[in-house]
Amino acid sequence: MSRPALVLKVLMAGAGLLAAALVAPPAGADPGPASAGSAAGATAVARARVAADQLMSSYEPNKAWFPSSWWNSAVALQTIGDYMQRTGDRRYLAQLDNTFEKDKGAFPAGYLSGDELWGNFTSRAIDDSEWWGLTWIQTYDLTKDRKYLDMAVTIARFVEDYWDDTCGGGVWWNAERTYKNAVTNGLWIRLTAELHNRLPGDTYWLGRAQQGWNWLNGSGMINDAGLVNDGLNDNCESNGDTVWTYNQGLAIGAGLELWRATHNPELLTTVRRLADSAIAPGGLVTDGVLTEYCDAPGRVCDDNAKQFKGIFMRYWMDLADTTRDRRYADFVAQQAATVWEHNRDASDRLGVHWSGATPNVFDWRTQASALSALIAAVPPTRPVRSLSATTDPSLPVVMPATGSATHVKIKVDVQATGPVGDQVPVVVQAAAPAGWTVTPARSTVTLRTRGNAVPVQSSVEVDVTIPAGAADGLHSVTATATSGSQLSFTTRSDILVAHEADFDTGTAAETPWLHDADGSQSNGVQNRFADGHSYFVYRFPFPADASSASVSLTIDNEFVIQLSGDGQNWTTVATETNEVHGGENKAVRTFDLTPYLGAGKAAHVRISDSFPNTGWGGRVYHVTATYN
């Protein structure tokens, strides 16, 4: 369930709050908006595609969500809807429908959410219900299937019951009617205005949207800087709480959709003032980069806040499209360039800190959020052609034998879109660090494109030779796919050379060793856990001359620890037999891996939950693996 957030009152800020100049984009980045026919536009589509594919790799098709957050899943799916609508790619329509059909029923607390779900995507968390309503409107826009729009209407009718005269109006944040805030009411305005704009002849939902907007403007929850605080206190006054980016974005988005319904120029004026306040000095931008309150050093963004900036960018994209104001488009271009250049690893995972500040956190929530910045950079009139590339594996680990060269095979996957029937010749050039070799260094593939709806793909494989004595650390092997003068895309594989594994969980240092994350989660640095029937597996590819090995885990709660030589056949070596929920059994536990060093010398460690029905599965903080 999302946290309380701001109610929106539009402050008629003075001219001095108009947008401050933004700092320049990263070196080499295109600082301006991309056009449909430009190389920048084609690159924007390609970047969004690889990031969207990475996000969807976390989608769990059985429960039909992203484990394990209900409202966050709605926003992630809506983001994928944005991606498909913006690029023309339609590969993920089936997953949207899978979620609609599987999750529209009633579910007990803990199955898909901490709350009981009452059916039709509703629960005691009123704002959660609204997020799902917007998701199904987005899906309706993509498919024109009326069942999605009808569901959004059902959700809006449910939410409407939580509007009353307390504090002069507004929708309650929860079914217990304890709090009126910005997120619930910003969503309400956007939801009802979107319904009006899709239901011919409607006047009812328009009236509700206008009523919500008027109440919002008079609520008193905008501070003197034109930024939205969190909500109302018991005296129906602004509580002055944290300014979160998603509430500013929802204020912008609510006004824009209502403007489309009415074309009242005062609405657009107000929206511009809210936007200008966000990017003015003292607003929501640090050194030109959109920054959450919890992005500051010493703070941690929880699972809710990880997605706030993406929501802001979703509605900022709408702002840039609607106004065609170059300042707003430049802000989009800068966020997208910063995310791509500074907040992305070799797997195309996008972190919580868009500036790239460390320690950074990567998960599907941060992926969905930063993806919205990349989507916003795609021109409204989509490019006809695009070219992207990825590597597999993108983060391989090598634990080299003494005095011997080591080989790693890397597959370069190339994807393209273009007019149906076009033959697209693509040259793939690979490069490795000095002293390394990559074979072949140059390859050519030809793709026959089928339009934008389904990118076509081909692959080339390269062999990387790592010389004996290569220094420990990350070494990048790059692959650049080029077709003609307009289409070019560079990907990389970061090969980790290591003589031991020693990492905190929940960090970038963990990723190369995390062989299978399954449905495990990480709430931040030094934290990975597997609840229910989820698990996670670490793989240690010890060198050919290793004769013994061991692993030490700092672990607590209700764990099962299993070891394997092939990653298929498992031996249980430790089980917590007591129900432990508070980490009181936290300890370093060491296990001998020598019996599991088979012909390939790779050992696997799997962590799962000894009490899958309680939700307090094994939690690991630190891992060390060594060999002789």
Quick: pLDDT tens for 573-586: 999 999 999 999 99
Q: How confident is the model at residue 572 (pLDDT cuts 50, 70, 90)?
A: very high
Q: Which fold does the domain 386-497 belong to in CATH?
A: Immunoglobulin-like (2.60.40)
pLDDT tens-place string over residues 348-380 = 999 999 999 988 889 999 999 999 999 999 999
Domain residue limits, the chain: 15-376, 386-497, 501-627
The CATH number of the domain covering residues in 15-376: 1.50.10.20
Q: What is the pLDDT of residue 523?
A: 78
Determine the average pLDDT of the residues in 307-319: 98
pLDDT at 3 > cutoff 60: no
DSSP 8-state assignment for residue 419: S
pLDDT tens-place string over residues 328-349 = 999 999 999 999 999 999 999 9
CA atoms 361, 362, 365, 366: torsion sign: positive
pLDDT tens-place string over residues 180-228 = 999 999 999 999 999 999 999 999 999 999 999 999 999 998 888 889 9
pLDDT at 21 > cutoff 50: no
Distance CA 247, CA 184 (A): 9
Percent pLDDT > 90 in the chain is: 87
pLDDT at 179 > cutoff 50: yes
Q: Give the number of other CB atoms < 10 A from CB of residue 530.
A: 27
| Class of the CATH-defined domain 501-627 | mainly beta
pLDDT at 26 > cutoff 50: no
pLDDT at 19 > cutoff 70: no
Residue in this structure with the two tokens 């950079």, named with its chain if needed: 377
Q: How confident is the model at residue 34 (pLDDT cuts 50, 70, 90)?
A: confident
Q: What is the pLDDT of residue 225?
A: 87
Q: What is the pLDDT of residue 424?
A: 97
Distance CA 84, CA 91 (A): 8
DSSP secondary structure of 486-509: TEEEEEEEEEEE-SSEEEETTSGG
pLDDT at 146 > cutoff 70: yes
Q: What is the pLDDT of residue 582?
A: 94
Q: How confident is the model at residue 33 (pLDDT cuts 50, 70, 90)?
A: low
Q: In Å, what is the CA distance from 533 to each residue of 111, 164, 493, 520, 575?
A: 12, 42, 31, 9, 15
pLDDT tens-place string over residues 514-553 = 999 998 988 777 889 999 889 999 999 999 999 999 999 9
Q: How confident is the model at residue 6 (pLDDT cuts 50, 70, 90)?
A: very low
pLDDT tens-place string over residues 236-260 = 999 998 999 999 999 999 999 999 9
The identity of residue 50, as a single letter, is: V
Q: What is the pLDDT of residue 238?
A: 95
pLDDT tens-place string over residues 44-89 = 999 999 999 999 999 999 999 998 899 999 999 999 999 999 999 9
Q: What is the pLDDT of residue 584?
A: 97
Helix or strand (DSSP H, E) at 564: strand 559-564
Three-state DSSP class for residue 444: strand
Q: Phi then psi for 32, rounded to 5 degrees?
A: -105, 170
Percent pLDDT > 70 in the chain is: 95
Q: What is the pLDDT of residue 29?
A: 39
pLDDT at 7 > cutoff 50: no
For 124-172, give the secondary structure using H, E and C. CEHHHHHHHHHHHHHHHHHHCCHHHHHHHHHHHHHHHCCECCHHHCCEE
| Cα atoms found within 13 Å of the Cα of residue 565, Cβ hemisphere only | 12
Determine the average pLDDT of the residues in 262-276: 96
Angle, helix 265-279 to helix 245-262, in steps of 10 degrees: 160
